[in-house]
Amino acid sequence: MGNTRILTREFEYVAPETMPELLALLDRHGPAATIIAGGTDVVPQLKYETISPDYLIDVTKIAELCTVRRDGTLHIGAAVKLRDVKAYCRDHEIYACLDDALGSIGQVQVVNMGTLGGNLCTASPAADAALALLVLEAQVRLIGSSGERIVALDAFFRGPKLTCMEPGEVLAEIQVPAVADHTGSAFRKIGRVAGDISKISCAVAVQSDGERCLSCRIGMGAVGPTPMRMPGVEQLLSGRAIDTDVMDEAADRLAADISPLTDARSTEFYRRRVSRVLFKDTFDQAWKRVQRQP
């Protein structure tokens, strides 16, 4: 690892207070500008010199990016701190998997600084909140000077560190649709030590009538280029009564469908083997949460 003590390059810092000002700045500076929110990914990147902007544009002073509201759909501003999202989820059990995911980020300081928008825009295959939002079928609202669009989260991620955002676009808010009745969700991850960045992560949202899985969404993290939905496994489980044989079959399918790599955090072999177990445990927890509901 290179230097972490100093930021070697000079750049300018701007903190616009309104969306129009922000969009104008992004248009004016083009690729010379980088957005900073909580800075927990951007500042290390500046230190390692993996990015070298001339302008750093802070989005955290824009009031509309910092609010949470709910009208059936939950709207979370991109610059809302992970800590505030976590506090919200604690009070609303329907977002249990997002609560689990935020609770799995070890460092209090990082949760205090980091934002939900930053966790998505970083586009890490191991981003925890991103995986939970994927199974909650979240959408993102992107705004650019030429208009805005809404994109489903699984179309937002394009690869490691790559999203569908065009130059000049900003992530404004994350929209979590209302969760159907009799749905339970959970998130689990395996790291080197508790609270570490994921070697493998899994999120599940399942709707059940007590015996059968009516429908489910399954997401796996750090086992492919982006946080991934597992449509093959989802279809396999839909409409089936859940027992150990069905779960074994689903776990086999899951291990076949993921595309893990060997990297600094883990090996392909380990990830494929352990994904089966992690998936079963996560599914089980989501399942238990549905059964607990009135």
Ligand X SMILES: Cc1cc2nc3c(=O)[nH]c(=O)nc-3n(C[C@H](O)[C@H](O)[C@H](O)COP(=O)(O)OP(=O)(O)OC[C@H]3O[C@@H](n4cnc5c(N)ncnc54)[C@H](O)[C@@H]3O)c2cc1C
Q: Kindly give the residue spans of alpha helices, DSSP state H, lying in the chain.
A: 19-29, 42-48, 82-90, 96-103, 108-113, 116-121, 128-135, 153-156, 231-237, 244-257, 268-292
Residue 115 near which of other proteins, ligand X, none (CB within 5-8 Å, type-dependent):
ligand X
Among 21, 24, 29, 47, binds other proteins (CB under 8 A): 47
Per-residue tokens: 218: 């399954």
Nearer to other proteins by C-beta: 82 or 153? 82
Question: Is 51 among the residues that bind other proteins (CB under 8 A)?
Answer: no
Per-residue tokens: 236: 């396999």
Question: Is 220 among the residues that bind other proteins (CB under 8 A)?
Answer: no
Among 46, 66, 80, 127, binds ligand X (CB under 6 A): 127
Question: What is the C-alpha separation between 211 and 273, in angstroms, rounded?
Answer: 28
Considering only residues 92 through 121, tell me which ones interact with other proteins, judged by CB under 8 A. 106-110, 112-113
Nearer to ligand X by C-beta: 78 or 258? 78
Question: Is 90 among the residues that bind other proteins (CB under 8 A)?
Answer: no
Question: Is 25 among the residues that bind other proteins (CB under 8 A)?
Answer: no
Q: Which amino acid is at 7?
A: L
Longest dimension (CA), the chain: 61
Question: What is the C-alpha separation between 68 and 80, in angstroms, rounded?
Answer: 8
Give the per-residue SS3 of 137-169.
Answer: CCEEEEEECCEEEEEEHHHHEEECCEECCCCCC
Who's near 173: CB < 8 A, 6+ residues apart? 65, 75, 76, 77, 78, 140, 141
Nearer to ligand X by C-beta: 115 or 183? 115
Question: Is 7 among the residues that bind other proteins (CB under 8 A)?
Answer: yes
Question: Is 282 among the residues that bind ligand X (CB under 6 A)?
Answer: no
Rounded to a whole number of angstroms, the minimum distance from the CB of residue 136 to ligand X is: 15
The closest alpha carbon to 278, from 204, 225, 207, belongs to 204
Nearer to other proteins by C-beta: 86 or 271? 86
Give residues in contact with ligand X (CB under 6 A): 34-42, 44, 59, 78, 82, 105-107, 110, 113-115, 117-119, 121-122, 127-129, 170-171, 197
Give residues in contact with other proteins (CB under 8 A): 1, 4-13, 15, 36, 39-40, 43-44, 46-47, 56, 58, 60, 83, 106-110, 112-113, 194-195
